[in-house]
Amino acid sequence: MFSFPSFSTILILFLTKIPSFPSQPTPFSSRLLDSTLQDHAFQSFPHHRSKTGTIYTGNVPVNLTGITISALRLRSGSLRKRGYNGYKEFNIPKGIVENPYVKRVILVYHNLGNWSQVYYPLPGFLYLTPVVGLLGYNADNMTAKGLPELDLRAPEDPIVIKFETLKVLGNGYSPVCVFFDLFGGVVFDHVLNGSVCSCVTQGHVGIVVESSPAPVPAPAPEHVPEYPIAGGDGGGGRGGRNRGWWVGGSVAGGVLLAALVVVLVLWVRWCRGTKRIEKMTVAADHGVPLAVAAVGRAEVPVAMSTRTKPILESEYVT
């Protein structure tokens, strides 16, 4: 008997064709944000006698409330020789090199708080931590705006990021580290010691968990509760916090809806073809070779228009 290939098989075929996570064009450009935050972090240094090796806290524009930034100025030589332990979540190892070489660097720290999901949307994932970032700049001109980042690398030991707060989920969830470089690249990695990530270049890091198990119709879809981002220390209204998830949710929802529409169209076509395929099944029983065409990744027999019309079983029965 002909049986319709499982609905979920087709769904999965289509879902796997959705490109994973390239840097989607969003109205919230993370690079524009980097630039804005560089400018504001530099302004946090006292105009006279600002010290190297001291962490200064910056102010963000009102419309970015929820993000926190800091700036730390270090001599390149000292950074390379000693690293810097405990710059917020970041433990910077010794051996860091910057390119081009500068005498002093300013390391700008970002904690995107409730904006993490907005600037670094990851459809299908929930953030268990805020996204934090570390970017290096030339310290020569403390009033410079729109500075390009230096190319910072940790060729010996990796930069280690220790998150203090991590939303704890029930069993069955496996948190992963996600690292965003400055060029739109996204890398997933294991979480170490429960809440530690590492990276070898500058960029942004967070811990995420997959939020949407494969949306198969049956069994009943698992209910995944929405967890707010583990916000730094800011209070923040619940409504505001949930908005980030809402944006991510609607993106994921849109993708899913598109996939479903495609599947539905296929399904209708498939149903129309069922009768024809039944004919071919009969033909196959009688030893007539069948043409095979690729539908998705499954090979399905397809009737050739030139082939002689097969005799239907029903014609004998009735």
Ligand X SMILES: *[C@@H]1O[C@H](CO)[C@@H](O)[C@H](O)[C@H]1NC(C)=O
DSSP 8-state assignment for residue 140? S
Q: For residues 132 and 259, which CB has a smaller minimum distance to ligand X in the complex?
A: 132
Burial code (b: 16+ CB inside 10 Å, e: under 16) for 46-59 equals eeeeeeeeebbebe
Is residue 118 near ligand X by the rule CB under 6 A?
A: yes
Query: What is the C-alpha separation between 305 and 265, in angstroms, rounded?
Result: 23
Site string for ligand X, 55-94 (x = CB under 6 A): ------x-x-xx----------------------------
Is residue 119 near ligand X by the rule CB under 6 A?
A: no
Q: Which of residues 200-259 bind ligand X (CB under 6 A)?
A: 234, 236, 240, 243-244
Query: What is the C-alpha separation between 297 and 14, in angstroms, rounded?
Result: 10
- Structure tokens belonging to residue 163: 């998150």
- Structure tokens belonging to residue 175: 């948190």
Q: Which of residues 129-148 bind ligand X (CB under 6 A)?
A: 141, 143-145
Burial code (b: 16+ CB inside 10 Å, e: under 16) for 295-311 equals beeeeebbbeeeeeebe
- Structure tokens belonging to residue 44: 């946090």
Query: What is the C-alpha separation between 265 and 14, in angstroms, rounded?
Result: 12
Q: For residues 106 and 283, which CB has a smaller minimum distance to ligand X in the complex?
A: 106
Are the C-beta atoms of residues 223 and 151 closer than 8 Å to each other? Answer: no
Site string for ligand X, 145-164 (x = CB under 6 A): x--------------x----
Minimum distance between the CB of residue 41 and ligand X, rounded to whole angstroms? 15
Q: For residues 4 and 246, which CB has a smaller minimum distance to ligand X in the complex?
A: 246
Is residue 196 near ligand X by the rule CB under 6 A?
A: yes
Bridge partners (DSSP) of residue 58 are 69
Q: For residues 144 and 300, which CB has a smaller minimum distance to ligand X in the complex?
A: 144
Are the C-beta atoms of residues 58 and 44 closer than 8 Å to each other? Answer: yes
Contact pick of 18, 168, 187, 192 for ligand X (by CB under 6 A): 192
Q: Which of residues 95-114 bind ligand X (CB under 6 A)?
A: 114
Q: What amino acid is encoded at 216 in this protein?
A: V
Q: For residues 52 and 65, which CB has a smaller minimum distance to ligand X in the complex?
A: 65
Q: For residues 235 and 287, which CB has a smaller minimum distance to ligand X in the complex?
A: 235
Minimum distance between the CB of residue 303 and ligand X, rounded to whole angstroms? 55
Q: How many residues bind ligand X (CB under 6 A)?
A: 20
88: three-class secondary structure by DSSP? coil
- Structure tokens belonging to residue 12: 């999965």
Q: For residues 63 and 318, which CB has a smaller minimum distance to ligand X in the complex?
A: 63
Q: For residues 196 and 277, which CB has a smaller minimum distance to ligand X in the complex?
A: 196
Minimum distance between the CB of residue 200 and ligand X, rounded to whole angstroms? 14
Are the C-beta atoms of residues 130 and 111 closer than 8 Å to each other? Answer: yes
- Structure tokens belonging to residue 120: 């670094």
Residues in touch with ligand X (CB under 6 A): 61, 63, 65-66, 114-115, 118, 141, 143-145, 160, 192-193, 196, 234, 236, 240, 243-244
